[in-house]
Structure 1
Amino acid sequence: MRSQAVSTTGRAFRPRTQRESCEMSLLSMDRRVVGNKRTSLVLSLGMATVVVSMMQTLTVPILPIIQRDLHAAPAAVGWVTTVTLLAAAVCTPLLTRLGDQRGKRRVLIGVLVAAVVGSVVATVTSSLPLLLVSRALQGSSTAIFPLALSILRDELPPTRLPTAMAAVSSTLAVGSGLALAAAGVLTQGENPDYHRVFLFSAVLCTLALVAVTLVVPPSSQVAGGRIDWIGAAVLACVLVLILLPLSQANTWGWGSVPTLASFGAAIVAGGFWVVFEKHRRDALVDMKMLTLRPVVLTNLAGILLGFGMFTQYIGISTFVQAPAHLAGYGFTASTVRASVEFLLPGAVASLVTGQVAGIFIRRFGARIPLAVGACSGVLGFTGLAFLHDTPASVIAAGLLTGIAVSCGFATLPIFIAAGVPALQNGIANGVNSIARSTGSSVASAVVITLLTSGTLPDLPGESATLATESQYVTIFLLGAGAFACVAVIAMFGLPTGASRPGGPGRPRRPRRSARSRDR
């Protein structure tokens, strides 16, 4: 008798028929196609997310050039940055809620179109009012990031979600570094032209628009309902009343009547908005969702993360550009060198860290990567405060702070996704984006105040505004303190079960027993 091969389970092997082989081949092909579509989705949304952070830092190196070419006062040119921040605050909550109600893909494409139009207008205009209009259109791009995260949650399976969110989130830091480096390189020479920088942003926004249009599928989950226009308008007023005095405090004065009146009006308007939203059937923001402990702590961590990120950018950039022969510190670096040599390595480290963080989030949850990243930020800022005598030490410290920022961007959306229903994910991430923007505004105001309040004596001309070295030590220690608070929130405040391998905010698929697998 001819013996028959037996498997380890005691059953005889049966050779596959031609039909079964074809079915297996088609199934394998389908899996490859699905995998390619998911990769394309993450790449296209990552490209769109680069636009967000790029718009926030794009004009920082070119403000003096804009002031010279447009013959504008420093206070007027400062609005080129301020109007973008205010537009982001006004548009992000409304646009993310529209994404939840009307479809995220549709709103995302509309936001990218606005960013393209704003970039094109800025490229061709030499009028300050039109430039401000274009920057307001670019400011609406802040809504891209929360919309992208919501699309990922709708389209990807739970096991792929943490890695994809981390990958897309890490591109935020890349966009900031890319914008600073590109602005420095494109404005080199004897006659620098700021229009080249906006042309660069127009090209990048157009590429992102094409990628999103071709790759992102229509929204699979739409909440519907009416739009709370009144709630959106009141919230916009509250945010403007908070962010405007923060951005103008060094011009108005922290104790001036406009600053104090704006903060007081923000408190009154905020109280009215909370009461109004509690009684709305189709509220812009669900107050119960907003007061959940994970959401509150995640937004607080977002404020601290934004503070640390902007402290890093402004602190390192101004420190390394200080003339060493006059100040006794710094490296007399040009704008290009400051961007490429000192800031770009941290941005690259953020991109790499985002990929690694996604793997750790899938295995261990989001708390550990957030806490480890925050500790890296503490080490980095402490090194900047006390070990800043050589370029290598500053670059190394920048790498550590870049890792911290990337871990924060990668993990905070995971806690949001785990804590809110899918149909509220867009507005929840939008609020978290506004929290980060608020932290960045506070950092900008605090850093500028410190740099202008303690200057070196007996210096000639423009050098008379150079800050003392101790002011930079204070700035970097404030950054370390911000990340230390993030570490405390991660370890003792946020839930331990967020983003287990089953996926954030979704039930795990039950494991099958060995007996059922053999059937």
Structure 2
Amino acid sequence: MAISEKEARPGVVVGVLAFGGTVAAITQTAVVPIIGQLPSLLDTSAANASWVITVTLLVGAVFTPVAGKLGDLYGKHRMLLVSGGFLIVGAAVAAMSSSLVPMLIGRGIQGMGVGLIPLGISLMRDVLPPQRLGSSIALMSASLGVGGALGLPVAAAVAQYASWRVLFWAAAALSALVIVLIAILVPTEAKRGDAGGRFDFVGAAGLGAGLVFLLLPVSKGAGWGWTSTTTLGLFAASAVTLAAWGWWELRTGDPLVDLRTTARPQVLLTNIASVLVGFAMYGQALIVPQLMQLPAATGHGMGQTMLGMGLWMAPGGLMMMALSPAGAKLSAARGPRVTLAVGALVIAIGYGSSAVLMGSTWGLMTMVCITNIGVGLAYGAMPALIMGAVPLSETASANSINTLMRSLGTSVSAAVVGVVLANMTTDFAGHAVPSERGFHVGLLIGAVVALVAAGVALTIPRRPAEPTDLDTELANLSTRSVSVAKA
């Protein structure tokens, strides 16, 4: 049974929720080191094996808004436990798989657990004192980077020296530990904002279908052909489905997503900036690993193994957590919109630094650290802006939609960067590999997108229309240094 808010220790609560976010992020990257082995492990083709990654992203994008709404209706603490349960079951199913279909089912179930991160951020608003909220949100947001930073090299080491099934069993064990810690140490929110509402099943189905129709061609368009009947047909189906979904949401009494709230300038512009930041974040995460692992004989590759690449990139993720207190201080002093704009500018500077740093592993690591500092600042500011503009009854739902916007940005980034690198190649030992110019173009696109994100952030209104927001809580934060240890 969960403890009461009076019995809870804020530092422990934040630590448990941040650990849960880290574990959820690790589940996303754990399969990357074995993706090349999956065709033989699962007796399938390379094209089919790629669905092991795609299905998790698709299901996560569809289920995250659903988890957020259920959290607002029936309790965020309860839905945190449910999300953790999905992570356990999904990992266990994947660990026992010997063919493609069970693996896809397991990875899809794992995708249903990624709502744990926005739910955890939303619960903080309910159970933490205002003076701890800003730094706690920043730390929870940084868990995304830490999970990715730690997950990749650890998974590579396990895949290299042990059975691949250990990856999934370890994920299941960590997820079980998360559930136990949340159940024992994290309090249940005392007040639920919308206890009398009902769940919008039609809206959930409509949004899910629209997102699948959109994300499938974005993810697979390069293989299917961007002008193929399948790709264009799915894009058209997405437009029609999402338009019909929007019509329904505006007319139902208990919508899955309150589009009127979403249309408020602070929420709308923050979500637009989130798409752009998600794009910029994922661009370098796709480009740098390839540069690290290309043979040095190409003239621009670093010749690193998968494990070596993961270790070189790990400091970037850790920088997100190390700088989270600075982001909280900046939000307290200047407002989260400024923190978001500064974060986007730092991302652009990181991309720009590649012009002189791309020639060595140390240079690439430095570039990753700079960009991830910006990502950490931006990701910590987004939930504060969203929660500052929505009522308590819509906190989890609104945060989940914001998480979805970032996912859309990463999906589009994968498609754009993939097209650039696939079409700008050079010959190496009889094989086409991405050229140095292709990498430069990809990095330039990331820099431009980050600058646009900074511009959008600066257009966010200084104060939301509604007075019942997080800005008041952030304004009450003292400007003294907030350490990660205290958080």
TM-score greater than 0.5 by the shorter chain: yes
Choose which of 240, 245, 259 in structure 1 pairs with 2:212. 240
Q: Does 2:183 match 1:181? A: no
* CA distance in 2 between partners of 1:210 and 1:495 (Å): 41
* CA distance in 2 between partners of 1:35 and 1:358 (Å): 25
* CA distance in 2 between partners of 1:298 and 1:508 (Å): 17
* CA distance in 2 between partners of 1:481 and 1:466 (Å): 25
- Name 2:470's counterpart in structure 1: 504
RMSD: 1.9
Paired residue total: 467
* CA distance in 1 between partners of 2:330 and 2:380 (Å): 11
- Name 2:310's counterpart in structure 1: 339
TM normalised by structure 1 equals: 0.87
Q: Per-residue deviation at 1:508?
A: 9.2
SS at match of 2:425: coil
Q: Does 2:462 match 1:490? A: no
**Aligned AA for 2:54?**
T
Change beyond 3 A, Cα 1:335–1:507: closer
Query: Which aligned pairs between 1:208-223 and structure 2 lie closer than 5 A?
Result: 208-222=178-192, 223=194
Q: Does 2:262 match 1:290? A: yes
* CA distance in 2 between partners of 1:460 and 1:244 (Å): 33
* CA distance in 1 between partners of 2:182 and 2:351 (Å): 37
Q: Per-residue deviation at 1:385?
A: 4.1
Q: Per-residue deviation at 1:330?
A: 1.5
**Aligned AA for 1:412?**
M
8 Å Cα contact 2:340/2:379 also seen in 1:
no
Q: Per-residue deviation at 1:380?
A: 0.8
SS at match of 2:112: helix
TM normalised by structure 2 equals: 0.92
Query: Which aligned pairs between 1:326-365 and structure 2 lie closer than 5 A?
Result: 327-341=298-312, 343-365=313-335
* CA distance in 2 between partners of 1:298 and 1:103 (Å): 25
Q: Does 2:45 match 1:73? A: yes
Choose which of 140, 143, 151 in structure 1 pairs with 2:123. 151
- Name 1:16's counterpart in structure 2: none
- Name 1:372's counterpart in structure 2: 342
Structure 2 spans left out of the alignment, 5+ residues: 477-487
Change beyond 3 A, Cα 1:160–1:253: same
* CA distance in 2 between partners of 1:116 and 1:508 (Å): 35
8 Å Cα contact 1:65/1:193 also seen in 2:
no
8 Å Cα contact 2:8/2:187 also seen in 1:
no
Q: Per-residue deviation at 1:208?
A: 1.2
Choose which of 412, 431, 442 in structure 1 pairs with 2:382. 412
SS at match of 1:465: strand
Change beyond 3 A, Cα 1:34–1:237: same
SS at match of 1:255: coil
SS at match of 1:284: coil
Q: Per-residue deviation at 1:132?
A: 0.5
**Aligned AA for 1:360?**
L
- Name 1:438's counterpart in structure 2: 408
8 Å Cα contact 2:33/2:159 also seen in 1:
no
Q: Per-residue deviation at 1:35?
A: 9.2
* CA distance in 2 between partners of 1:485 and 1:460 (Å): 39
Q: Per-residue deviation at 1:157?
A: 2.4
Choose which of 424, 429, 432 in structure 2 pairs with 1:460. 429
- Name 1:479's counterpart in structure 2: 446
SS at match of 1:153: helix
* CA distance in 2 between partners of 1:42 and 1:308 (Å): 28
Structure 1 spans left out of the alignment, 5+ residues: 1-32, 511-519
**Aligned AA for 1:113?**
G
8 Å Cα contact 1:307/1:442 also seen in 2:
yes
* CA distance in 1 between partners of 2:240 and 2:37 (Å): 40
Q: Does 2:373 match 1:403? A: yes
Segment of structure 1 superposing worse, 122-131 or 433-442? 122-131
Q: Per-residue deviation at 1:503?
A: 7.2
* CA distance in 2 between partners of 1:195 and 1:382 (Å): 40
* CA distance in 1 between partners of 2:419 and 2:40 (Å): 24
- Residues 374-404 of structure 1: CA distance to partner in whole angstroms, max 9, x if unpaired? 2211111112244311222111111100101
Percent identity between matched residues is 32
Choose which of 393, 400, 423 in structure 2 pairs with 1:423. 393
* CA distance in 1 between partners of 2:343 and 2:317 (Å): 14
Q: Does 2:110 match 1:138? A: yes
- Name 2:227's counterpart in structure 1: 255
* CA distance in 2 between partners of 1:440 and 1:240 (Å): 15
**Aligned AA for 1:331?**
M
8 Å Cα contact 1:162/1:503 also seen in 2:
no
Q: Per-residue deviation at 1:70?
A: 1.8
Q: Per-residue deviation at 1:506?
A: 4.5
* CA distance in 1 between partners of 2:26 and 2:461 (Å): 32
8 Å Cα contact 2:276/2:449 also seen in 1:
yes
* CA distance in 2 between partners of 1:424 and 1:114 (Å): 23
Q: Which has the larger radius of gyration?
A: 1
* CA distance in 2 between partners of 1:246 and 1:508 (Å): 37
